[in-house]
Amino acid sequence: MGKLERVLLAGPAGNLEVLIEPHEAARGIALIAHPHPLYGGSADNKVVTTLAKALREMGYTTLRPNFRGVGGSEGQHDHGEGETYDLLAVCAYARQRFDSPRGSSSPSPLPLALAGFSFGAYVITRVAKTLAEHGDPAERLVLVGVATGLVEGKRSYIAETVPADTVVIHGSQDETIPLGNVVAWATPLELPVILVPGADHFFHRKLHLIRSIVHSAWQR
């Protein structure tokens, strides 16, 4: 496994801080998005680091950006709009850096996995839609506690349509994002929702189950 790097790259609203852990024999690139910046969300969130660990174990180089206004990232919170463009900028950086091995005259694009938690999962649905529209669809998505519908704090989100093999994980005791919201979003998409019994929004004492679910999903 590669050593953790903290990189500043140019984003739409200024510098973006990205935590990168390169994999020496990467099978793909994984971008992981964190929960709401105004409620303590950052790239160091435990659900986010759990997702990154699971994906690294399966051979992915992982990138965990801090959204604008968090850590070393410049700019102000933009309710998902600007954050979508931030993540697209990180994707472009990852493609430029990791798709072109030294000495290679014909780089082959690596598969791109997208993962997110809460607000970050909502933004990931937007990023996935944009990438697909531009001919660079993600290999697979993992959405944990995806923000959709009316959530705690009277915030409202409309998560985008995602592919049928998207891994959707939700806690049965989530009081921040009601399970009913996720079911209402997933039903017309015929998208299964993996329910973790007893898990709250932040999956306290249940993080190992997220890791296990992700590993199992990649074997199917």
The full 3-state SS of the chain, as one line of letters, equals CCCCEEEEEEECCEEEEEEEECCCCCCEEEEEECCCHHHCCCCCCHHHHHHHHHHHHCCEEEEEECCCCCCCCCCCCCCCHHHHHHHHHHHHHHHHHHCCCCCCCCCCCCCEEEEEECHHHHHHHHHHHHHHHCCCCCCEEEEECCCCEEECCCEEECCCCCCCCCEEEEECCCCCCCHHHHHHHHHHHCCCCEEECCCCCCCCCCHHHHHHHHHHHHCC
Residue 24, classified by CB atoms within 10 Å of its CB into exposed (0-12), middle (13-18) or buried (19+), is exposed
Amino acid, single-letter form, for residue 46 = K
Predicted local confidence at residue 101, as pLDDT: 56
Predicted local confidence at residue 103, as pLDDT: 47
Domains of the chain: 5-218 (3.40.50.1820)
Residue 210, classified by CB atoms within 10 Å of its CB into exposed (0-12), middle (13-18) or buried (19+), is buried
Residue 179, classified by CB atoms within 10 Å of its CB into exposed (0-12), middle (13-18) or buried (19+), is middle
Predicted local confidence at residue 109, as pLDDT: 87
Residue ranges in the chain whose pLDDT is less than 50:
102-103, 106
